[in-house]
Amino acid sequence: KQEVTQIPAALSVPEGENLVLNCSFTDSAIYNLQWFRQDPGKGLTSLLLIQSSQREQTSGRLNASLDKSSGRSTLYIAASQPGDSATYLCAVRPAAAGNKLTFGGGTRVLVKP
């Protein structure tokens, strides 16, 4: 059974520092991996989608890498801002489970001004 882990569960950094968020998964048979952002009391906003054949995706200050063989993805947020404070969730779409995502527990990020 696929398991997705995000460590640390919480992270606090000063404004301007780069953020590095980790996601690991146990089964490398995946279609894709998706990073989401969730603000308190809100829904999930998709940040980046990486196909299983890709190594990385970039959008503005965000860069996500994928190493499928080792079961790892990393989300980098450059030059963090207080507005980046949120919970970040990664989710994998297992090849064996159709369209059902498996989520990590999330990393809660606080960027201090």
Partner 1 sequence: DVKVTQSSRYLVKRTGEKVFLECVQDMDHENMFWYRQDPGLGLRLIYFSYDVKMKEKGDIPEGYSVSREKKERFSLILESASTNQTSMYLCASTYVDRGLYGYTFGSGTRLTVV
> Residues 17-36 vs partner 1: string with x where CB under 8 A?
-------------xxx-x-x
From the list 14-22, 62-70, 74-82, 98-106, the region that binds partner 1 by CB under 8 A is: 98-106
How many residues bind partner 1 (CB under 8 A)? The answer is 25
Residue 58 contacts by C-beta under 8 Å, 6 or more apart in sequence?
48, 64
Q: How far is the CB of 111 from partner 1 (least distance, A)?
A: 22
Buried/exposed code over 26-38 (b: 16+ C-beta within 10 A; e: otherwise):
ebbebebbbbbbe
DSSP calls for 20-36: EEEEEES---EEEEEEE
Tell me if 52 contacts partner 1 by CB under 8 A.
Answer: yes
Q: Is 43 or 113 the residue whose CB approaches partner 1 more closely? A: 43
Helix count (H) and strand count (E) of the chain? Answer: 0, 11
Which two tokens mark 70?
A: 């080792």
The residues of the shown chain that bind partner 1, judged by CB under 8 A, are: 30-32, 34, 36, 41-46, 49, 51-52, 89, 91, 93, 95, 99-101, 103-106
